[in-house]
Amino acid sequence: MTKFSELNLNPKVLKAVEEAGYESPTPIQEGAIPPALEGKDVLGIAQTGTGKTASFTLPMITMLARGRARARMPRSLVLCPTRELAAQVAENFDTYAKHVKLTKALLIGGVSFGEQNKLIDKGVDVLIATPGRLLDHFERGKLLLTGVQIMVVDEADRMLDMGFIPDIERIFSLTPFTRQTLFFSATMAPEIERITNTFLSAPTRIEVARQATTSENIEQSVVMFKGSRKDREASEKRKVLRALIDAEGDRCTNAIIFCNRKMDVDIVAKSLGKYGYDAAPIHGDLDQSQRTRTLDGFREGSLRFLVASDVAARGLDVPNVSHVFNFDVPGHAEDYVHRIGRTGRAGRDGKAMMICVPRDEKNLADIENLVQKPIPRLENPLKAAKPAAADAEEEVKKPARSRSKKTRDSKSEQTASTSAADEKPATENKSASRSDTSRARTSSQRDSGGGNKVVGMGDHLPSFIALSFAERRTG
């Protein structure tokens, strides 16, 4: 087995790698580092969780150890699709470059332009950015990209999904033609293939796994779920999620729960909190400081459940995630691979569960076609409780029908009593007539099972209506 010491890395970089506890490179690192050190363009294709970040940070630090940065002209550029991934890449540079004097700047949204400008003005060796914030700085005249020697595009397929490809193409055009390009992606969509053919020069292609494969050490399953009623489906689906979590018991040390919509992320997180689960949401609409605190809490173990949109599906490296729950079937089959790739990392075992409602069955079929194997079906954990729930519902319905029948009977009795009262001789006094009518009405209400239930005009029946025609005439 190859060791890092055999990859011709800077001795100071090797020391940092050893201190981080790594001895042997992953396949993508072993394949990408040597050609990158030779100055060649690299096209790396590997499933998530295989160590792509170190495969470009290690050779970059080695090459950048020679030279000096100039003001507003970064020597290298790393483009990431999300703030979280950019921050994680910055952490990797801090870890592996701690014995090398290199400067870096992180350009992401949610952070003051002023602080970022100060770092750029001093000159940085490594600029890590999201495309939008990078172009904002460029258009303000605070940044020049003509000094970029090495350019990295990380998670290119995610860039495509988020609509960043036009920005990427523009950024490529702002950098020197002579730059070295390191391009990494988990899948190779036609649009990604076009970009690599346009902007990479005779790249060394490293593909360590079949495109869009899932790790063999992740146990996968799906629950086919159908709500009892359309208006109850969402709440019943959340109940299924809680049942799946409870069934795992202590084996579920922590988990990421993925939803398709930001609104559902908030709802599921709030629902879990209501039932005593330690959960917090993370999605693109939240303030950056809140997102950072939530992620830090999850990494440190103070937060057990992270409810996320796909902003957290790519590149987030939390090595000890025991479970991934797909509350929704992802709309893009490739996203499934990236979501469940948050567990089972660095050779660990992981578990991925998904809840599929009837309208998502087509998306489930697309996922199975992509990964080229069926996902095992898991029995609905609420299935055993359904008959009892149905019986309870019947018990609720039966009294309602019974009450309705009795009400009809009581109305008939009331009609009969009223008719009898009308047929009484006119010689009977008024009080007797009112008394008979009142007793008939009271008996009717008692038979209907609700003494306070208003039938007809109820107790407010005017006394003159209860009198016979003869009594009214003589009165």
Q: What is the CATH number of the domain that holds 351?
A: 3.40.50.300
Q: Are residues 143 and 271 in the same domain?
A: no
Q: Are residues 280 and 331 in the same domain?
A: yes
Chain-centroid distance of CA 433 in Å reads 73
Q: Which amino acid is at 167?
A: D
Domain C-terminal end among 185, 207, 229: 207
Lowest mean pLDDT among 133-137, 177-181, 358-362, 446-450: 446-450
Q: Is residue 433 predicted with pLDDT exceeding 60? A: no
| Residue 349's pLDDT band (cuts 50, 70, 90) | confident
396 within some domain: no
71 within some domain: yes
Residue 288, domain extent = 218-381
386 within some domain: no
Q: Is residue 416 predicted with pLDDT exceeding 50? A: no
Distance of alpha carbon 174 from alpha carbon 139, whole angstroms:
12
| Residue 32's pLDDT band (cuts 50, 70, 90) | very high
Instruction: Quick: pLDDT tens for 225-279.
Output: 999 999 999 999 999 999 999 999 999 999 999 999 999 999 999 999 999 999 9
Q: Are residues 170 and 276 in the same domain?
A: no
HSE of 232 in the Cβ direction (CA atoms, 13 Å)? 8
Q: Is residue 366 predicted with pLDDT exceeding 70? A: yes
| Residue 459's pLDDT band (cuts 50, 70, 90) | low
| Residue 415's pLDDT band (cuts 50, 70, 90) | very low
Q: Are residues 314 and 445 in the same domain?
A: no
120 within some domain: yes
| The residue count for the chain | 475
Q: 45 has which bridge partners? A: 185, 207
Residue keyed to tokens 């460029």 = 138
Domain C-terminal end among 188, 207, 226: 207
Rounded percentage of the chain residues whose pLDDT exceeds 70: 77
389 within some domain: no
Q: What is the average per-residue pLDDT within 64-77? A: 88
Average model confidence (pLDDT) for the chain?
A: 82
Domain C-terminal end among 178, 207, 236: 207
421 within some domain: yes
Q: Is residue 142 predicted with pLDDT exceeding 70? A: yes
Residue keyed to tokens 């008979």 = 436
User: What is the tally of structural domains in the chain?
Assistant: 3
Beta strands in 191-341 (DSSP E): 204-207, 218-224, 255-258, 279-282, 305-308, 323-326
DSSP label of 374: P
Distance of alpha carbon 246 from alpha carbon 248, whole angstroms:
5
294 within some domain: yes
Would you state the pLDDT for residue 447? 47
Q: Could you please report the per-residue DSSP string of 234-269?
A: HHHHHHHHHHHHHHHGGG-S-EEEE-SSHHHHHHHH
392 or 92, which is more confident: 92
Distance of alpha carbon 245 from alpha carbon 272, whole angstroms:
11
Q: Are residues 186 and 223 in the same domain?
A: no
3-state secondary structure 106-169: EECCCCCHHHHHHHHHHCCCEEEECHHHHHHHHHCCCCCCCCCCEEEECCHHHHHHCCCHHHHH
Burial of 197 (0-12, 13-18, 19+ CB in 10 A): exposed
390 within some domain: no
Would you state the pLDDT for residue 469? 53
Instruction: Quick: pLDDT tens for 115-139.
Output: 899 889 988 999 999 999 999 999 9
Structural contact between residues 217 and 347, judged by C-beta atoms closer than 8 angstroms: yes
Q: Is residue 425 predicted with pLDDT exceeding 60? A: no
